[in-house]
Amino acid sequence: MRPKLISLCMIVKDEEESLGRCLESVRGVVDEIIVVDTGSSDRTVAIAEQHAARVVSVPWQHDFSEARNAGIELADGEWILFLDADERLDQEGYKLRQYALQEQIAGLFLHIHNYVGNGSQGATINPVLRMFRNLPGCRFKGKIHEQIASQIIERVPDAAFLMTDVKIHHYGYIHRTVVKKGKTDRNLRLLLEAIKEQPDEPFHRYNIGVEYLRAGNAESALTSFQTAKEMIPSPEISYAHLIRKYEARCLQALGRLSSAIGSLREAIGIYEDYSDLYHYKASCHLALGQFDEAKEAIEQALRLGPAPAGYHTEDGIGSYQSLYMLGQLFEAENQYDRAVEAYVEAIRLKSDLNPPLYRLFHIYRVLGREECLADLFHERFVIRSSQSAIKMISILIECRCYEAALKLAQEKLPGSEHQAMTSTVHMLKMLSGGQIDEMKAFLEEREKTRGGETDFELRNFKAWLRWIENNEKPEEESLWEDADIVIPAAYASGNKYAASLFTEQWRHEAAGQHPDERKEASEAISRALITLADQHLASIGGRQHVQTLIRSARTLLPCKEGF
């Protein structure tokens, strides 16, 4: 029988939602799959067996190393690859078989892309030892954030480790998953137990800081990181650079920006090629209005580019994220053409990026240059599909660039899609301008011809019109969800309840339990206020210098999206 080259070893519990995708991602890469189940009550075991995994049940003893080692004991492969169910091996995972044939290598580092927030807000990137030779007696240690490297070196003192270009996509820290599984509480509980057993281990202090920071407790996180910094024996330790970065991030979150800059300056003295440090230093200077210092730091981050292998980093730092910040800096200095160039370059580096698009459209609209967007599309963007065009048009709509949206729909969308999108834009344009009679007639015509709008879209427009026309308080949930559209429209048409709706909408949305919900509510109200400010700009008349001043100030206010 052909010897097994790679054994995948996993520990799972109630992972029916994600396990199948994980196991599909290793098809053709591993020779055997060993799944240690610690008490699943869903279809996890059945899914594992459908993928030809060997499943062993092991009671959970609140010790990740113990569970992982139970799988290794059963592995026959020359190499051990370990993954969690909420991870997926990248499509280039086949390279692991090539790396495994290098006899002098004892372990392989893979780049873990950890997706956070709702999953679309970018990722942190961390090089982690995830594949190693199946050496006799070489087992994990640590109740949580278990480690294997020191055990390998103990058995093979001259062991060589290779930094590969293979990626693992990790979705376990998307917000809904963290809440559902109670990961933060679980991790903190295990880490506090680990500190009792090993009070002098700085790695535990560092990991506690990570959990506090993830939970939004910056003060406790800062204490943990500073304790870990004092305890580590050398800045060469693999996670030492992260302690420095996270210390600064905590200080920044606490509003102690000067202290954060001092911390980052000290860290740069040790890790001068670590672009993340310059990026965060720039963000602190920018927040303090120190534009020259911010520009110097962000340009250094861009010169360095993405952090070298071995550093934990964030996707886009040294490239598109840093360019996005540079664009914001140019906006703050009223250098709008340079801001546009920075945003366009950010989009060139990452074509599916939304935040720079919002900023671009935002600039063109508030500076009264919306008619120039058509030239921008032709000169700088390649729109190859209807889906791309609809995405661009949708962002234009959210930025109130209705004329540009109509033009793009006319040029890029076929018959029915064009008809549906243009009628929606027309209605939003009329609504925002308080043209209620015109919109009512237009909506009645659209209901007859059914030009492609869904029942949901037509129902929303009818609800908005009914409320504005009747001059009464709204009841429909959709009105609350689209406050930044409906409230300015109510003002434009003279609805007597419009003013009080700001307060009521805030109370309605701010009742949300999670900080993200409250943040979204405040942003919706901000956008509604911004739209109202735009509507009143015309009343300033010929005082061009006043209009310029207001529009310049407006570009600094929040728009739809950002990092």
Residue 63: pLDDT band (50, 70, 90) is: very high
From CA 349, how far away is CA 300, in angstroms rounded? 18
Residue 563: pLDDT band (50, 70, 90) is: very low
What SS3 state is found at 111?
Answer: strand
> Do the strands 54-57 and 32-37 form a parallel or antiparallel pair, or are they unpaired?
parallel
Residue 528 reports pLDDT greater than 80: no
List the one residue out of 273, 206, 258, 259 whose CA is nearest residue 237. 206
Average pLDDT over residues 482-487: 67
From CA 233, how far away is CA 48, in angstroms rounded? 43
Task: Give the relative orientation of helices 218-231 and 202-214 as an angle to the nearest 10 degrees.
Answer: 160
Average pLDDT over residues 119-133: 84
DSSP 496-507: TTHHHHHHHHHH
From CA 204, how far away is CA 214, in angstroms rounded? 15
Residue 288 main-chain phi, psi, to 5 deg: -90, 0
Average pLDDT, the chain: 85
% of the chain at pLDDT higher than 70:
79
Q: Which H helix or E strand runs over 167?
A: strand 160-170
Residue 538 reports pLDDT greater than 80: no
DSSP 368-405: T-GGGHHHHHHHH----SHHHHHHHHHHHHHTT-HHHH
Residue 517 reports pLDDT greater than 70: no
List the one residue out of 358, 562, 268 whose CA is nearest residue 280. 268
CATH number of 1-171: 3.90.550.10
* pLDDT recorded at residue 417: 83
Residue 191 reports pLDDT greater than 50: yes
Give the number of C-alpha atoms closer than 13 A to the C-alpha of residue 415, restricted to the C-beta side: 0
Q: Which of 245-259, 304-318, 461-475 is predicted with the least confidence, judged by mean pLDDT?
A: 461-475
CB of 252 closer than 8 Å to CB of 260: yes
Domain ranges of the chain: 1-171, 354-554
